[in-house]
Structure 1
Amino acid sequence: MSEYVTESITTLPDIKLIKSCEFGANDTVNSYMRRLCKVWLKNSNISPVEAGTYLRSMSIIKSVLDILSQGILSLEGVQKKLIDQDVTFRRLYLDGGDKVCSIVLENLLALITYSKRPLNNSEKLIPMLYLQVQLWQRELSGILRYFQKDPEFAWRHSLKKDEDRIALPMYFCRECGASGWLSRRLATDDSYCSDISTINKAFMDREKKMVLLNIESKNHEAVDEYVNENAINVTHHVSIKNLREMSESDSDTLRVRVCSRMTSTRNGNQRFTTVCPECNSDAICKIGGRTFTLSSVAISQVLSSDFDHAEEKDRKILVFTNSVQLIRQLSMKQELSDFFSVKSMQQYINSLDKPVNVAALQEGFKIYWKEKLSEDNVQHHKRDKAKEWISRKRRVNLCC
């Protein structure tokens, strides 16, 4: 550590300058990095190599590396240890508080990602420090909104049987951001539907009796382009207890805007259209529609197919696992898995002329790429624990 990082620069920028280094609403990555380089490195046009040299002379960088060498910590954990162990950072905390300290850490991480160093005194540049970023996104599948004036949400699985409030699925417009409740009302019904499964199925099937509900206000009025002979655009007073249509004088009601528009199919049948009443764009979607699952499948397919034209050494690692809880372990403990650096799994699948089971897929996959790639490109990290674990769980991890 002492050979790589020195402590010749022990001061930090002025608090006012640090506060100016937040990523603003009108910032681009380039403008943000130029500002950071000017404040922290004294040169807005400093090269990545020069930036790396400068950072390695800062005592705050050495303190961060000393702390992270002890194990994995959250950003808050790093900040707390810096306050305890670094005198300069502690003084900054006393003068500027948590907010300024958070900005400092974000700035340092951004500068680390910008900085480079030559590899073995060659022209090839590599990161000054390798920084791993993990983005965890939770799907909103099962999210509901209570039918009431003030916004309040709940998970479907957390609803109690004796719940005295009604929670409905929600819609969202990808164009204008409008949102509200989803429901359905048949001609024979005396109230709007509150059964979640029925509403979800009706929305997916585009049943013509689907309706969009929203609190009545000027902002939620349907635009003129939305209203036609196939559209519903009315205002009703609806009971918050049973979703029945009530009169204005009744208590426990919510004044809602009810909208829906149908279109005719080739067979003459009518179907609900996902057109937004507030902007007339075909952009209505159900909140909690497993968007992240679908997007992860799409990204996985791109990485494991010929769409990725990167050289073998530049490809990303993609781990397939049958358990969400194992992803974090797999990213940190490679001894749990057999990793294979491959050019493309899709090519091997395309070469098969008959169905195969998982075991045959695994063995054939390794044999195929051993023949196709050089020894340097096929890396086997075999560990006794991995062998034992894979044989027990019968799980295959493939990395592309």
Structure 2
Amino acid sequence: MYKYIFLFIAITFSCSEAARENRRKDMLPTARGEADEIILVVDSTLWADTLGLSAELKKTFMAPMLGLPQDESLFNVSKVNPRRLNSVLKSAKNMVFVMTLDSKTADSRVLRQFFTDQSLNQIKRDTSMFMRSQRDLFAKGQTVMFLFSSTEDQLAKKINYNRSQIREFFETSARETIKEKLFNSPKKQLANRIKESHNIELTVPYGWEKARDLKNFVWLRKMDAETEQSIFIYYEPYTDQGVFNEIGAFRDKVTKTNLYDGENPDVYIQRQEIIPVFTERVNFNGHFAVEARGLWKISDNSRGGPFLSYTIVDEKEGLIYYIEGYVDSPGTRKKHLVRELEAILSTFKTKSDIATTPDPS
């Protein structure tokens, strides 16, 4: 009987803790700022150093996004002195706190106040610890990361080795924030027609229209007076893994065959070779895929811009998919438009994904 009393007490305690946490969140302000803005709270002396930890932080958060015609950093970073961190700054959408135990400055003493004595002792004992993340710490909808170590040199090495993981944490957060805004009013009828015709799924935001629909190809776009965003999806039987070593040539085949001027087929979309196509092997919703970023142009050199694509294998169905988003927006910065395309493409589901997804009804 006592074990049931203990269980009841444990459940009650757990429920009260959850309720207390929910009440705490209800009292928080809403996080503010753009999806990829980061407030970086770091010792000013450390940040002024051009080498070591400061350099690793800048490489991680302020490196240029690949595949853009102009340099635009991955994240818009604002460095903040810990002693000047006020309630407005604490409500930022994304925050990073950087602390090392070997620093004895006034800034670092303030940073250590964000850690319990138990945590500080554990950092001293366990050199493998260097990162912790938390949601909704100071504001609702907020993402916070703590980067820490006993010494500056140790933390610099940890960040260098785990750079992709740290970036992906904030990339994912930015993508989810953008999706919330984009898909507030999705075009379900258009998405359903695409599913019926091609056995694929894609969440289509408001404002997007179908531009071309062929047997194994569909092209969607959103246009206004100055900007065009396009997404197209192509698929064929998967017969040769060598395609992943020739993503550029595979793209050329797809675009020349399907993205041409209806009145002049000799005018079509192709790659720009000003910069190489940057490729990376990734896991796309459980499928092996290659992500590619580069520049495109119309063959008559009249327009151009950046593109982002994924070449995806659906081994169960024996299909290979090429999905791409590209931007045409002369004279403007394009990172935010590419991030929107990333968010839309991330909702793509192959034929086998649909077959294994439970029916919500």
Question: For the superposition of Structure 1 and Structure 2, which TM-score range results when normalised by the shorter chain?
Answer: under 0.3
TM-score (normalizing by structure 2): 0.23
Ranked by relative contact order (alpha carbons within 8 Å, sequence separation 6 or more), the top structure is 2
Q: Which has the higher strand share?
A: 2
